[in-house]
Structure 1
Amino acid sequence: MSLTLYGCLRSRATRPVWAAMELGLDHRRVPVIQAYRLQDPAAPGAPLNTASPAFRAINPNGLIPALEDDGFVLNESQAITLYLARKAGSPLGPQDAKEEALTAMWALWGRGIEEDCLSIVQKRDPEAAADRLRAPFAVLDKALAEGKGFLVGNRFTVADINMAEIIRYAQPDRTLFEAAPHVQAWITACQARPAFQAMMKEREAEPL
């Protein structure tokens, strides 16, 4: 098996793992946890973590997830999901240059709101974060209405996987979703998919 994903599911590795499950890709997973979760990441017997030299040889940035495919190494979760869809030749990936540009656009747009979404789930001044998210949620709501419930190509794609895993962080604030019914319907549909549920079941089994 040549395709390897590094990371743990209590991280952005949820995105490529969800994508790999959607695509039915045979792959190996190597558990790597964040160094900040360990009292001494360099201690003898410490689990493989983002500070471990063995992992830094894969991703010198010390971030998860990472992918290795027959010597090809790729970092950044949203780039990995796109690569997996392309590798599989699946409709989950862009089918032309316009769809590829739209997938990239939504990936960049999502990065712009991710910190505020994280602030909600991590309870770091969540009220202020929610206030900042109201306008972007209205933009997303309109795009989903126009896209027949999807972000790209009027079908479920890696753009939806990437965005849904960002928006998931904001779900504790119900008011955001009440004001954006298309966002609510879309994330409900995304999270009802068997691959998402299988991924989350594995995630919930991981230690905190």
Structure 2
Amino acid sequence: MLTIHGVTRSRASRIIWLCHELDLPFRQIPVIQAYRLPDPDAPDAPLNTRSPAFLELSPAGAIPVLEDGDLVLSESLACTLHLARKSGSPIGPADATEDALMQQWSFYAATAVEPDALTILFLHKPGQQQSGEDAAIVANAAERLVRPLLALEQHLATHKYLVGDRFTVADLNMAEVLRYAQSDHELMGQFPALREWLDRCQARPAFRKMWVERLAEPE
């Protein structure tokens, strides 16, 4: 059985969503991020990314980590790509060309979208008062996202999904990264095809199941 190390309120959500898509059974060990704890080194602290037991598995001290038999794999997108490819299902690649395209979109999500999307996640407070400095940082992040989101918009204007005109791991990976920025309605409103695609992805039963589990965890 697969083992996923990491709470669902982390990038482990990507692997968990995929496992639900594929009906893959897994065991979850809820390792929490050390920065979320007042004293992660305290004797009674929950298992976290600075716990010696976890650092033996992941010297980088980062979640998630996937154990698949003898394979120990970190980096969430590597984990989802591995499981999708291994599954032989339509969510993974049908051939080498599709495999390359799924990697392309996943790496594009990680490099061109995620850094600024995370800035929006952490600093954008819709309907709340925020400092001028934070507002300026969010505005700059949103401006930088226009170029990569425009590339996605142009693709999705003529394709229902990113690869092979079906939902695949490329869509899952990109959707989970874009989720960080979707609270910025002014930004997302510029890209109607992208928003419709994201709605389709997040309407999937496997995503909804993961999301319920995520919300059940303490913030």
| TM-score between the two structures when normalised by the length of structure 1 | 0.95
Out of 198, 203, 206, which is 2:214 matched to? 203
Amino acid at match of 2:148: P
Q: Residue 161 of structure 1 aligns with which residue?
A: 172
Q: Distance in 2 between matches of 1:86 and 1:133?
A: 29
Structure 1 residue 53: deviation in Å? 1.4
- Aligned residue for 1:127? 139
- Structure 2 residue aligned with 1:174: 185
Match of 2:151, SS state, is helix
Does the CA contact (< 8 Å) of 1:137 and 1:176 recur in 2?
Answer: no
Measure the CA separation in 1 of the matches of 2:68 and 2:52: 20
For residue 154 of structure 2, the aligned residue among 120, 142, 146 is 142
Distance 2:146 2:212 in 1: 30
C-alpha offsets along residues 46-85 of structure 1, whole Å, 9 cap, x if unaligned? 1111111111122111111110112210111011111111
TM-score between both structures, scaled by the size of structure 2:
0.91
* Gaps in structure 2 of 5+ consecutive residues: 124-133
Partner SS, residue 68 of structure 1: strand
Is the Cα–Cα contact under 8 Å of residues 25 and 88 in structure 1 kept in the other structure? no
Which portions of structure 1, spanning 4 or more consecutive aligned residues, are displaced by more than 2 angstroms? Answer: none
- 1:87: Cα distance to partner? 2.6
Over the aligned positions, Cα root-mean-square deviation in angstroms equals 1.1
The structural deviation recorded for 1:4 is 0.4
What are the ranges of 5 or more consecutive residues in structure 1 without an aligned counterpart?
A: none
Shift of 1:88: 2.1
CA distance in 2, matches of 1:87, 1:111: 22
For 1:150 and 1:186, the matched residues in 2 are separated by 7
Alignment match, 1:9 = 8
- What letter is aligned with 1:7? G
Give the total of aligned pairs.
206
In percent, how many aligned pairs have the same letter?
Answer: 53
Q: Which residue of 1 aligns with 2:77?
A: 78
